Structure 1
Amino acid sequence: MKNLIHSLIISCTLLGLYGCIGIRFSESDIATFQQKPQATDSQAQNIIKVGGSSSTTTVLKLLAKEYQAKNPQVKVDFTTNSQSEGAIASLKSNIIDIVGSSHKLKPEENNGQIQSRELATDLLLVATHSSVKGVTNLTTQQLQAIYRGDITNWQQLGGPNAKIVVLDRPEDESAKKLLRKYYLGKEKTTTKAVILNKEGELIDTLQSTPYTIGAFSLATSVINQLPVNRLSLNGISPKIENFTNGKYQMVRHIEIIWSKKPSPSTQDFIDFVFSQEGSKILDKNGFVPAK
């Protein structure tokens, strides 16, 4: 470092610029530069970059928090990707290290250098704002009518005399795909529905806006103790025991995708995620760990 600084001074002098730009290096300045810590390759390797769909962020941040508490030398950074497809492309380009996906890795997405494994199952629930009193269960036909725009007032379902505000997700998002698969079918969605691109946006809006209805992660509701009304569907409540006994089927499978040649830090985090300790964290927070 000292030689570098001296070289700079000599170069400036030769160019006739030393005096006019006012560069002055004392011995104390040189000592300061020499003592300043420099970033190392090993430090850079301790940053794990994670991306993926917004629906998988909750579980990955939950695990990352616990992991970093035990490994303070490692930092897990989350990117702002809202869809798993874009995150997978970033993984293949070595921009990020791990992807959380709400769908299985497709053959056309796999370049032979990445791998995937199911992490957990997350129940998808239909919930309303706490202002919707008197409505605790919906049949398939009633849910279809709400999303279609045929039932527009909660009073029609035994609730308050208030307009129903439908919060919805884009058609290519996992929550909407699951709603269609198990309840909505090919029914058209009302044009008056409020479309929200990210699950977090839907959850925030549902909590803050009276008379709303929407579908999102049960685990997120459990972890954050959200003050919303969780609805039963056809008399079946969204509980883990109802999933394990086969009664409640609207669930989202969360996949983890990473390189076949991960960095040591990335592999260590992956090992933690799939460890018994990781499974206990998932189970405690409303997820069903994959077997």
Structure 2
Amino acid sequence: MKKIAESTIIAIILLGLCSCNSVKTTELKDSNPVTSQTDSQDQKLIKIGGSSSTVTVLKLLAKGYESQNKTVKIEFISNSQSEGVIAALKNNIIDIAGSSHKLKPEEDNGKIQYREFAQDLLLIATHNSVKGVNNLSTKQLKAIYKGEIKNWRELGGPDANIVVLDRPEDESAKKLLRKYYLGEDKTTTKAVILNKEGELIETLQSTPNSIGAFSLAYSLINQLPVNHLSLNGVAPKSQNFSSGQYKMVRRIGILWNKTPSAATQNFIDFILSKEGEKLLQNNGFVPTK
């Protein structure tokens, strides 16, 4: 069954490759690759696949790299979960995979390697219709997700029913929410489950009185008109994470073949360079030391 599942994932990814379709739901503003006027035969192509939680940072780095290297084109295939893009890497469908989890023993075929390079704070945000609510305690956040607090009025907000936007249990965002705030309590059956982070972000912006968790850096880069909530009085800011006050952070890494092409290696070197670190810091990410 495992082989069948992996084959299915790879087939889906191949379809994404054929359509040459970038990930719409997690796309940076003006994030189309900078294409070169150089003859296509001279242009070096790097193919990247990322889980929905890693595409934002990878596109940010790709745009920065392409602006300096006109003979390189970086192409993104349709995104998948981390397991799917790692399978694509092992089958030579892509050159670099973005993952929100470390390489698991069962995923390691001895031919690929992993490196964490960034940390992305996870933000609790509401639609901008929610006025008067700027901070939630752990107890309050739990009660919202359990469905015990159903109206924003109970928290000093408007008289309106709370719309909980949630992610599947196996996604990094939900795992972090459970680890630091929700525990093992069951989520309300009225929560709207969204499979991709981009879908949650779009839904939160278009749904009055909604609440959800997603990337702080994505919100900052795209200047989203949403309310950022403090948790237990601590604002979601990189300096609060660095000081140990803000705990909820997603770790982002890349995987690649141990014998990459020169073009792939050069881009990896850029990601891990001081210049790459500066680009991350300027856009709300925390570089991994």
Q: TM-score range by the shorter chain?
A: 0.7 to 0.9
The answer as to 2:223 corresponding to 1:225 is yes
Secondary structure, counterpart of 2:67 in structure 1: helix
Q: Which residue number in structure 1 is paired with residue 132 of structure 2?
A: 134
Flag as ranges the 4+ runs of structure 1 deviating above 6 A.
none
Letter in 2 for 1:213: I
The answer as to 2:110 corresponding to 1:112 is yes
Larger helix share, 1 or 2: 1
Q: Which residue number in structure 2 is paired with residue 166 of structure 1?
A: 164
Give distance in 1, aligned partners of 2:279 and 2:213.
24
Q: Which residue number in structure 2 is paired with residue 148 of structure 1?
A: 146
Q: Which residue number in structure 1 is paired with residue 15 of structure 2?
A: none
Deviations 1:217-266 (A, max 9, x none): 01001111111111011111111111011011100000111010001110
Q: Which residue number in structure 1 is paired with residue 79 of structure 2?
A: 81
Secondary structure, counterpart of 2:85 in structure 1: helix
Offset, 1:73? 1.3
Q: Which residue number in structure 1 is paired with residue 206 of structure 2?
A: 208
Letter in 2 for 1:122: D
Q: Which has the larger radius of gyration?
A: 1
Give distance in 2, aligned partners of 1:162 and 1:192.
15
Give distance in 1, aligned partners of 2:56 and 2:96.
14
Give distance in 2, aligned partners of 1:138 and 1:251.
17
Which consecutive residues of structure 2, in runs of 5 or more, have no partner in the other structure? Answer: 1-38
Give distance in 2, aligned partners of 1:211 and 1:72.
45
Offset, 1:39? 6.8
The answer as to 2:177 corresponding to 1:179 is yes
Give distance in 2, aligned partners of 1:181 and 1:79.
31
Secondary structure, counterpart of 2:61 in structure 1: helix
Deviations 1:137-184 (A, max 9, x none): 111111111101111100011100001000000100000000000000
TM-score by length of 1: 0.85
Pick aligned residue for 1:237 from 226, 235, 238 = 235
Offset, 1:108? 1.0
Which consecutive residues of structure 1, in runs of 5 or more, have no partner in the other structure? Answer: 1-37
Secondary structure, counterpart of 2:47 in structure 1: strand
Give distance in 1, aligned partners of 2:137 and 2:229.
10
Secondary structure, counterpart of 2:220 in structure 1: helix
Give distance in 2, aligned partners of 1:75 and 1:67.
9
Give distance in 1, aligned partners of 2:143 and 2:40.
59
Letter in 1 for 2:278: K
Offset, 1:82? 2.1
Secondary structure, counterpart of 1:126 in structure 2: strand
Give distance in 2, aligned partners of 1:48 and 1:192.
42
Give distance in 1, aligned partners of 2:244 and 2:68.
36
Identity %: 71
Secondary structure, counterpart of 1:256 in structure 2: strand
Q: Which residue number in structure 2 is paired with residue 194 of structure 1?
A: 192
Q: Which residue number in structure 1 is paired with residue 34 of structure 2?
A: none
The answer as to 2:269 corresponding to 1:246 is no
TM-score by length of 2: 0.85
Give the RMSD, CA atoms, in angstroms.
Answer: 1.3
